[in-house]
Amino acid sequence: MNNQTFIQKIKSFISNNIIWSILILLVIVGVSYYFLKGKTSTETRYITSTVANGSVIVSVSGSGQIESSDTITINAKTTGDIVSVPVKVGQYIGKGSIIASIDSADAKIALETAQLSLDKLKKPNTLTVLQKENSLKKNYDDSWNNMSSFYIDTNNIINGLESLNNGYLGSQNKSQLGDAGRTKFDLSEKAYWDAKKSYDTNVAFYKSLSRSSSNESLDELLIQSLDTAKIVSNSVKLEQASFDYLNNYLAQSSSSQVSTNQANLASWANTSNGYVNSILSSINTKGESIQSLKEAISPADELDIRQAILNVETKQNALNDCFVRAPIDGIIATLTAKVGQTASGSIGTLIAKQKIVKIALNEVDIAKIKLGQKATLAFDAIEGLTITGSVDGIDTVGTVSSGVVTYNVTISLDVDDARVKPGMSVSATVITDTAQDVVVVPNSAIKTKNGLSYVETFNADLPAVATGVQGSISPTLPNQTTIEIGLADDINTEITSGLKIGDIIVTKTITATAAKATTAPSILSAVGGNRTQAGGSNAMRAVAGH
């Protein structure tokens, strides 16, 4: 009742004081606007993080299917009845395992015949070899006997030349000669000393050997003895020339001493020349005996032996062809060979156990792919399975479809999982570049202005925030720090310069505008309860009418 009286009084006041009612209304609206404006706040908050070391992994993704690395048709290389098939479809076999055996009886006989023919060519005649060996041994015995005679006779020649040089060709007669004669005497005397030196050296080597010494030592003795025989023969020849020159100069050709010396020199010349020829003959005969023995040991012509060897290899290959073997490790996919059938051509297929993934990449992504890059593989059909692999093939020519160029990339799996089957769908992520232990910041922190990259930084940590509130308020604006960037992935970016570990950066800026208003009671709405709208309308109409 009291309320009704108060409302009626207000209505009466408004009706009787329209001007004052309008003024009061304007005051109320102004106070409300000021109140609402005072309660509206605009606050900028910053979410920050501290710069630290991290890793950036750049990758390219694609999808494809699991395939076998190779599918091979199994062919029989010869015809014949199949006698054994020790494998079955779906079985894993290693490289070289027998898949099917073909009757090999004829091939074995052919190989044995070819081997016998080769052995016959290689096998020497025992009697002939024995004769050649005895002939060579006799040659060495004869050479040794000749050496014994050679060194005895050569010793006599050296002693005879020494007596001649000390006697008839001595200094007394030499002094009577002119320069030409003395020069001739000097040459013969030097030749004598060369002969004596060679003889003394080789006779010592001869005395260190025996008939049972090695063939190599006897060969060396023959060669050295031939040299000595030639030097002695030359010495005798020069001594004869000096002797004849002196004899003509002194005109003593009728004396008995001259005749004796002439006979000795002639004998020595024949003896030394004879040994040169006989030793050379022994060396040649020995060489012929050695060659004859070699031919007796290997009687067949070299070309005949090579042809026989090739024939054996051909027969061996024919025998090998009777056994169909797996060329690689793999799984028997199909098999048509059966025991009793005739083998001819293809008898099945073999798929490699190793599996690969082929994915298609566009022309932008393919430029980043290189052989050997690591990849991770996920499978739609096998939840939770991730397998690593590496790129081992890149198409050089792309495939154009609807104007889009794609290139196939082959990825080999690092491990073989029995659950992974050819034909399965797979998602592959190829790692194209990495940066380890470098300065990184979240991608959201990086901004760009005038072609330069920068981040916002604070010199100190911002005040802590209350639970449930994002970001901190800063009394100062952040700094703009210019940076240089390196690699970037979906989360982080490598910073190559401009920041250091421990710097405080802004990763997100939050600008929140929230208006909080306390609404003052409307004098119009307070009048008459449900009739407020009607009363208000009448009042406004009354004002308008006024």
Q: What local confidence, expressed as pLDDT, does residue 325 receive?
A: 92
Q: What CA–CA distance (Å, rounded) separates 530 from 154? A: 164
pLDDT in single tens digits along all 546 residues of the chain? 455 566 666 667 666 777 777 777 777 766 555 554 444 445 788 888 889 999 888 888 888 888 776 778 888 888 889 999 999 998 888 888 999 999 999 999 999 999 988 887 777 667 777 888 888 888 888 889 888 899 999 999 999 998 888 888 877 877 788 888 888 888 888 999 999 999 999 999 999 988 888 989 998 999 999 999 999 999 999 988 888 888 887 776 557 777 888 888 999 999 999 999 999 998 998 888 888 887 777 767 778 888 989 999 999 999 999 999 988 888 888 899 889 888 888 888 888 767 788 888 988 888 889 888 899 999 888 888 888 988 988 988 888 888 889 988 988 888 877 788 878 889 999 998 888 889 999 999 899 988 899 999 988 888 877 777 788 888 888 988 999 998 888 889 999 898 989 888 898 888 865 434 333 344 334 333 343 333 333 333 323 332
Determine the structural domain holding residue 87 and report its residue range: 71-103+322-351
> Do residues 378 and 282 both lie within one domain?
no
Q: What local confidence, expressed as pLDDT, does residue 136 receive?
A: 85
> Do residues 262 and 172 both lie within one domain?
yes
> Do residues 175 and 201 both lie within one domain?
yes
Residues composing the chain = 546
What DSSP string runs through 43-102?
EEEEEEEE-EEEEEEEEEEEEEEEEES-EEEEEEEEEEEEEE----TT-EE-TT-EEEEE
> Do residues 92 and 79 both lie within one domain?
yes
Q: What local confidence, expressed as pLDDT, does residue 268 receive?
A: 93
> Do residues 186 and 88 both lie within one domain?
no
* Residue that finishes a domain, picked among 306, 331, 351: 351
Domain presence at residue 361 = yes
CB atoms within 10 A of CB 514: 9
Q: Alpha carbon 185 to chain centroid distance?
A: 77
> Do residues 201 and 279 both lie within one domain?
yes
Q: What CA–CA distance (Å, rounded) separates 305 from 220? A: 35
> Do residues 289 and 140 both lie within one domain?
yes
> Do residues 131 and 218 both lie within one domain?
yes
Domain presence at residue 192 = yes
Q: What is the CATH number of the domain that holds 390?
A: 2.40.30.170
Element (H, E) at 409: strand 404-413
Domain presence at residue 116 = no
Q: What local confidence, expressed as pLDDT, does residue 152 receive?
A: 92
Domain presence at residue 52 = yes
> Do residues 81 and 10 both lie within one domain?
no
Which residues face 345 on adjacent strands?
76
> Do residues 150 and 51 both lie within one domain?
no
Q: What is the CATH number of the domain that holds 344?
A: 2.40.50.100
- CA distance readout (Å), 275 to 143, 148, 213, 229: 11, 11, 22, 6
Q: What local confidence, expressed as pLDDT, does residue 543 receive?
A: 30
> Do residues 62 and 79 both lie within one domain?
no
Domain presence at residue 332 = yes
Domain presence at residue 118 = no
> Do residues 98 and 192 both lie within one domain?
no
Domain presence at residue 370 = yes
Domain presence at residue 303 = no
Q: What local confidence, expressed as pLDDT, does residue 397 receive?
A: 86
In this structure, the dihedral spanned by the alpha carbons of residues 382, 386, 390 and 391, taken in order and rounded to 10 degrees, is 50
Predicted TM-score (pTM) of the model is: 0.41
**485-498 b/e (C-beta count within 10 Å ≥ 16 → b):** bebebeebbbbeeb
**Overall domain count for the chain:** 4
